[in-house]
Amino acid sequence: MPWAASPIAERHDLRPDALPDEILRSETPVVLRRLVADWPLVRAAREGAQAAADYLTGLARVDAPPVVVTVGPPEIAGRFFYNASLDGFNFRREQVPLPVVLRTLLNYLDDPAPPAIYVASTTIDTWLPGFGGDNAITLGERAPLASIWIGNRTRIAAHQDLPDNLACVAAGRRRVTLFPPDQLANLYVGPLDLTPAGQPISLVDFAAPDLQRFPRFAEAMRHAQVAELAAGDAVLIPSMWWHHMEGLEPFNVLVNYWWRQSPGWMDTPMDALMHALLSVRDLPPAQRAIWREVFAHYVFDPGDATAAHIPDAARGALAPLDAERARRLRARLLQRLNR
């Protein structure tokens, strides 16, 4: 890392079966040292990559479909990214049985310039159905999506995720670099509709930032928070915090848990952003200013007076939303979009 970022705040006194709600609802990141140090997978990883791979292979479903593996040539040095013209990528995707991926990573352990190999966001219950029973964590009444990430020395560009994220290092080491959501303008984010893995990413190479091309990144650096995580450590990444993830060993495993602090029937705000690009961004300036006030009134700063003058039964989309009202509103939007 070419700059001195601030350390992420840490806790050293928490257990995976007794995580306080104040941590899980935190609006700032926190490293939880040795949170999952007693997981069987972490104990196996302390013996070495072979033991960790054997443990995962023993849990793998025999009849499971292949996993999706992202593979890049040695010359990308683990940085999964765009091609030079930003109309494609510097990697390919393959479908490979999970045990084969694990064996392949072991074969490259001593290679100084291996291909970049990464199994990203693979649902644990589908491929490793027995994992959660032995490697347990309690997140209260939340029903998180549990995923596993497996690879060698890879670099995942800074991006945001809508859910809150508890990321647990189960093998190897990782460096995580975080930025507050308000650093959007300083991170030089790439295309919204062509992305390496679903989320828009920063175009800055964190290993060698080009401050002539990306001068505002110097300001982002002043807000960066960083931590190096060993096997057994975890980090709580709140919703929409930018995070850059770097695997530091030839064999790395991360297990993460995603959840949203909103009802399941709510759509992603990214849909609203894309629709606003379609319908608001290119209006004349005076009209955009009007719509800024409209959005403030109905969306960002609504109050009791917003709809108090309308009878309850007639408020429609202005009434408090629930699953049924959301379904009707979504159907209306689809009808209008498909005109």
Query: Token pair of 89, please?
Result: 């990528």
- Structural contact between residues 265 and 327, judged by C-beta atoms closer than 8 angstroms: yes
Residues near 86 by Cβ (< 8 Å), separated by ≥ 6?
A: 190, 191, 194
Task: Outline where DSSP puts E strands in 9-106.
Answer: 10-11, 30-32, 67-72, 79-80, 92-96
Cα distance from N-terminal residue to C-terminal residue, the chain: 50
**77: closest CA among 204, 207, 242, 195?**
207
The predicted structure's pLDDT at residue 1: 47
Strand arrangement of the beta sheet that strand 155-159 belongs to: 6-7, 225-230, 173-179, 242-247, 155-159, 79-80
CB-based contact 37:232 (threshold 8 Å): yes
At 95, the amino acid letter reads Q
Identify the pLDDT of residue 3. Answer: 63
The whole-model pTM stands at 0.94
What pLDDT, on the 0 to 100 scale, is given for residue 5? 85
CB count in 10 Å sphere of residue 103: 12
| Mean pLDDT by groups of 10 residues along the chain of 339 residues | 80 95 97 98 98 97 95 98 97 97 98 97 95 95 95 98 97 98 98 95 97 97 98 98 98 98 92 95 97 96 93 92 92 88
Domains, the chain, with CATH or none: 6-259 (2.60.120.650), 269-337 (no CATH)
pLDDT digits (tens, 9 = 90+) for 20-35: 999 999 999 999 999 9
- Chain-centroid distance of CA 49 in Å reads 25
Determine whether 240 is exposed, middle or buried from the number of CB atoms within 10 Å of its CB (0-12, 13-18, 19+): middle
Predicted pLDDT at 60: 95
Average pLDDT, the chain: 96
Distance, in Å, from the CA atom of 90 to the CA atom of 58, rounded to the nearest integer, reads 33
With CA atoms as reference, report the closest residue to 234 among 27, 1, 5, 16: 16
